[in-house]
Every structure is written in structure tokens, then in C-alpha cells.
Structure 1
Amino acid sequence: MRGPGGRPLVPLRHGADHFGRYTSRMRRVPGSRISRRPSCHTRHMRVVVGWLLVLLLGTAAVLTLNPEWLARLNPDWAGLTTTYPISQVVALRPLLAAVFAVLALVVLAVGVFRRTRMRRGIKTLTLGLVLLAVAIGHAWVVWDRGMDNPGGLSADDGVRPAGAGTGAITVLTYNTLDGRTTAEDVADLAGQNGADIIALPETSLATAEEVAALMLAEGAPFQVFVDVKGEPAIGSTALLVASTLGEYVQTSAPETSFGAVRAEPASGVGPPVVAVHVSPPISRLTAQWQADLEAVTALCRGRDAAGLVVAGDLNATLDHRPLQDLGGCADAALAGGVGGVSTWPVRTPAWLGSAIDHVLVDTGRYRVTEAAVVQRGESDHRGVVARLLPGE
């Protein structure tokens, strides 16, 4: 009989079994090698390292729920949600819920196998349960923000129309993708929902004026304001304000990469309105996106936030830090129960994408009575429409 490396092992007889065969122990022949079980110290270190790995992976998974939690430990770590590529990941919370659910099922299956066949797997099962809890957490956040989308506002909610200073004001925002959601589409949506304010990122002056003409034909005159920065196809932002809100004048808007329009009542009852289009958060434009987003959300935290309405394509979700601190403003989709419905991209189901188009309103002046995510035309965005009433 030979051991590892072909070296001989000499049996030592110490008794016979019930078949009459000799059992034996193996005596080590000098120069031979016999495998040894790991020492207690080594096994202990393996256990410690294993649990540390579970702790590390579990903590990383939990932090995907809100990376800004780290700022509570160190203020210098604030702003992780606007740091590339974390900014891309946190924008896809519904997808994160699905990914963590799949990972949890796989890890739990491995843990059960190890536990039943090898009497091991406690660490694997623990990690699987953490991943499952994170998946449920992501799904709960989306669900809690609201997924019951009516697709439009009610035709008659028992409130007075805008114009009297105490009536409803309806706001519609739609990124038309350079008119792929056409003027007819926008006018139809605005008419069906009784829009008084229409914010249209990626919309030319010609398209905006066509929308106004179509609305006028239906007996609803609108003023048109446009600002263009950069490439006209994506840098043109239009704002239409119903004449029932009184006369408006265009004033200084926040400094952003794309067009931004601010209009204030010269003699009327309507709110100050800002239509915006924030730069996308792709790698080479991260700094630009951060500056644009800060400039827009700062409006809600500034001195001139009273009665303010901000609408447009912010290219950010409620999970990005600037939208977690809106001062006196609230997100109308969230307040209206559709904050979990995605507005981009339309090629994915409404429960899977990102809610990056927003209507922000000063809660000291207005309350949201209802909201909806709407879709028309060939744009890659869905729109948001919200009805506001002066606060009580």
C-alpha cells in the first residue's frame, strides 16, 4: 500500500474484523506525506473571514437602498447618488429590485443545498436573506410612491377652473423629443386634462406656437415662451401659459446647459413657473448634470420659492440627493400617488424604468389633488400631468 507520492505505508495489525480481515493503522514512513486536517486556528480564521465577507456584501447591498446614508457617518461622503456610475445605478430602483430578487433566490438555493448535504451554509443562507430583504425594500419604495396610474386626470373633480385665484391649476410637462410627440398630441393631452401650464423640453418655437394655435382653436388662448441653448433639437425648451392665469412676462431662468424658461405674472393670478431641461447624467457630462440639477432644485430652497411651479425633464429621480432635499417644494407625481411610475424610457414597462420627468410645487401655496403619467406620440419619454389647488 502506498501513500501520496507513491511512498509506502506500513500497516500495523491491531485486530481482525468480523470477516476475518485485519484492520490496520497507517504508520508514517520517513519521507512520506500524510494530509492533515486544518488546525483550530485556521478553521477559526476561515469562519471569521467568511462572516466578514457576508457583512461586507450585505452592507453594500443595503446601501443601494440609499447610498446617502453614509453621509450620516461622514458628511464628506454626501452626494454619492450624484457620483458616476452610482448615479446611473440608483436611477434604476425597479431594476435593482428584480436583480436582487434573482440573486437572493440563487444564493438561498446554494445555501439550502450546502445545509442539507454538507451541514454547512449558514453564512450563505444569511447573505441570501439579506439580499431578499434588499429586493423587498427596493420594491416597497417603488410601490409606496404609487403605481396606480389612471393615465389622465378626472374630467370633473368638482373644483373651479383657474383664473379666479382660488381655482385649480393643471400642469403638464412632456419631453417631445424634438416634436416626435407632435403638437396635435400635446394639444390633445392638454385639452383632455384642462392644462393651464405646459412645459415642453426638446420642443422648438414652431412646435410650441402650433400647440398654442390648436389650443386657441378650441377656445383656450396661451402665451408662448421659448429658450434655446446648445443644439436646437434638444436645447430648446418651451413654456405655454393659459391666458386665464393673466398676463405673464419672461424673466431670468436658472443657468442650465439646455433651455430654461421662467415666466412670472405681470398682472394675474397664476404662479411663477419655470420650465427646465437638465443635462443627462452620462459619464462625460456628470459635472454639467450636477450643476444643472443643483441650479434647478435650488429654486425650491431659495427666497423666491413662494408659489413656485417647476416642470420639465430633470434627468434625475427622487433617489438622487438634490431631489431628496426640495425645501418647500414637493414632487406632484409622488403627492398624487404615481411617483413610482417611470417616465423614461417608453420602450420598457412603466413599472421598470426611471421617473425623471417632474412637476415640483410649493406646498406652502398649493396642494396636489391628483396626478397621472401620460403617453402620446413617438417620444422616448412619458409626460406628467398634475392638478393643483391653493392650499388651505
Structure 2
Amino acid sequence: MTITDAPAETRPHRRRVALTVLLWLLLAPGAIWFLGRAFGVERGVLVMLTAFTPYVALWSVVPFLLALAGRRWAAAAVAGLVAFGFAVCVVPRALPNVHKGPAKGVELHVMTSNMLFGGADPDEIVQLVREHDVAVLALQEFTAEGESALAAAGLGELLPYHQLAPEPGASGSGLYSRYPLTDPGAHRNDGGFQQAFAIIQPPGAGPLFVESAHPLAPAATSMLPGWRADLREQPAADPDATPKILLGDFNATLDHKRLRDLIATGYRDAADTVGEGLVGSWGPYDGDPIPPVTIDHVLVDKRIGVRKVSTHAVTDSDHRSLIASLTVPAAS
């Protein structure tokens, strides 16, 4: 017997049951996703999916509103808790933090840019450095060809000091500075990528450790051990040591527990601090049908203040460049 053949008094009941089941089916994926985010479950394909948590957070409002409209109070209660939980995790990134760090000190502009196998437009990168008074530039996917193109575009005139580790493909790293570098070097992380680093000392400021960060991308389950190790081995903040600035393509968002654990050692995420933490930095910029996600970051020691953060498109790169205006401690 079909629903249309059923007695008239049973049809509304069946519709109510069908609607209730549909509502639970709609809210269940979001609820499971939220529990994974809340408890830091980062295994297998979940690592890749976690990057899209802000989109799921937005979707979580839909089953909540539908449950309210349908007067399914149990479903509405669960959906409401899930939506509220997502809001607590995600919404603060779009709001400026009351505590932006010290406002007094020496102003320093830093920039990070992933060059996509060295092919990003060098003139646009140099123009960004010039227009935004960038004093430190970190580059990932830095190749010998990219190095030559940047030199031809005049980068050396603006940032004459550098620590470079160019390599074919995606593993190269570069660090350019307006100021002399001390203790420069580059190390290869567990995932196989180089990370250039050095200590700089802007005029009037104390020394600063800067590093071009590039953990392995979790693009396949076989790459997850390297991704985990790379994030775990990033330099931790230390209030008793030289203040650190880590900037680059972290291949992780603030929804990944391993990045949050790194920040918890004593960093602040610059974009999150000024309410720009949901602005995408990787995704569809080279034509791939991928929603934008925020995997490029500037992490600064809590002794460093954040004034402003902006993102900028660069032709022939799948990443946007990230520029942060910072206030670093004055020399004591």
C-alpha cells in the first residue's frame, strides 16, 4: 500500500515521521564533524576535510532552522548545540581580538608567498614588497628559476640579504631581508621540504628569529606522517628566548589541532588576531574548483603585536600572498 492508498488519518503521521528522519539525517553529518573538530580527530581523509570546517559551520545553521520550523524540538536542540559549537570555533576568527599584543615598539612588515613550483609572477611579488614596505619575505616552492626571475625583477635592490635553498618542484625555500642575517641556514623537514631561517635585527629593535615554514601537504593518506611530524617539529615559542616569527604555507588551518597546539606554545596567528582569519589563501586561484581555505599563516611570538594583515593575489600561483604589519620589541 502506498502513502496515497493509506487511510487519510495515517498520512500526516507518516509525513511527520519522514520529516523527522530527514532532519536527523541532515544534522548527523554536521554533528559528527563537530565532534571530530572538538576532540581533534585527525586521521585519514578527515585531515583534508577538516580544512573546510568553516563551510560546514555555515551549513549547520540550515538543519537547526528547519527543525525549528518543523517543531522538531529534540532535533532542534541537538542542531542548535552543534551550530553553537561551530560558532564558538569559527566566528572569532572574523572578529578583531581585544588583545593584539604590544602597540609600542618597532614597526615591521613581513610577507609570505608560495610561488607554485617557482612560477609565480616575480614582478607582482616585487611590487607587493615595494608598495607595502616589506622588510622580510618568506618564499615556499622556491626554485632556481624563481630566484633568477626575482633577481631580474629587482628584489635584491629592496631586500639585499637572503638565505636561499632553491630546489626543483615544491621543496625549495627562500628568505629575503632588508636587514643583515645572522646564524642563517635551512633545514629539511620530515616531509622533505626545506625551511630557510635566520636571525634579523631591525634598527631600534631586538633580535628576531624568522623562518619560512612549509610542512608537507596532507594531500594523500601516505603523506600524513610527514605532515604530522612537520607541524610537531616547527620551532615552539619560548618566552625566555629570542622572539620568533614563523610565516609560510603551513598546509593546515586553525581547525587542525596540530596547528593549534603549535600556536599554544606561545604564538598568536596574525590574521586571526585582527579578524582576518577566515580569508582564504589557497584554493581556486589557479583554476581548481576548490573552495578557498586558510592554510598560509604568520605566527608571531606573543611579545610581538599585530597591526594589520592583508592577502594579495599573485598571477600563476595557487596561493595568495599574506602581508602582516607587526610591532616588534624595541632593543633593551
Name the residue aligned to 2:126. 187
Name the residue aligned to 2:213. 276
- What TM-score, normalized to structure 2? 0.75
For residues 302-347 of structure 1, the C-alpha deviation after alignment (integer angstroms, 9 at most, x for no partner) is 5885311111111001111122222111111111221111111134
Per-residue deviation, 1:84: 1.8
Name the residue aligned to 1:354. 293
Q: How far apart, in 2, do the equivalents of 1:196 and 1:380 lie? A: 24
Aligned runs of 1:91-240 on 2, under 5 Å? 91-104=51-64, 108=67, 112=70, 122=72, 125-135=73-83, 137-138=85-86, 141-146=89-94, 166-212=105-151, 214-215=153-154, 219-228=157-166, 232-240=168-176
For residues 174-226 of structure 1, the C-alpha deviation after alignment (integer angstroms, 9 at most, x for no partner) is 11212332111110111111111111111213423543453457x52422322
Q: How far apart, in 1, do the equivalents of 2:159 and 2:319 lie? A: 26
Q: How far apart, in 2, do the equivalents of 1:289 and 1:216 lie? A: 31
Rg bigger for which structure?
1
CA 1:300–1:213: 2 relative to 1, 3 Å: farther
Is it true that 1:387 corresponds to 2:321 in the alignment?
no
Native 8 Å contact 2:144 2:166 kept in 1: no
**Secondary structure, in 3 states, of the residue corresponding to 1:291?**
helix
Per-residue deviation, 1:173: 0.6
CA 1:185–1:179: 2 relative to 1, 3 Å: farther
- What TM-score, normalized to structure 1? 0.65
CA 1:191–1:65: 2 relative to 1, 3 Å: farther
Number of aligned residue pairs: give it.
Answer: 297
Name the residue aligned to 1:264. 199
Q: Greater relative contact order (Cα 8 A, min sep 6): structure 1 or 2?
A: 2
Q: How far apart, in 2, do the equivalents of 1:309 and 1:270 lie? A: 11
CA 1:182–1:305: 2 relative to 1, 3 Å: farther
Q: How far apart, in 2, do the equivalents of 1:136 and 1:352 lie? A: 23
| 1:251 aligned to which of 179, 185, 192 | 185
Per-residue deviation, 1:301: 4.0
Native 8 Å contact 2:283 2:291 kept in 1: no
Aligned runs of 1:307-326 on 2, under 5 Å? 307-325=243-261, 326=263
Per-residue deviation, 1:267: 10
Q: How far apart, in 2, do the equivalents of 1:304 and 1:226 lie? A: 28
CA 1:178–1:104: 2 relative to 1, 3 Å: same
CA 1:128–1:186: 2 relative to 1, 3 Å: same
**Secondary structure, in 3 states, of the residue corresponding to 2:208?**
coil
The CA RMSD over aligned residues, in Å, is 3.7
Per-residue deviation, 1:361: 0.9
Q: What is the percentage of aligned positions where both structures have the same residue?
A: 25
Is it true that 1:373 corresponds to 2:308 in the alignment?
no
Q: How far apart, in 1, do the equivalents of 2:215 and 2:241 lie? A: 19
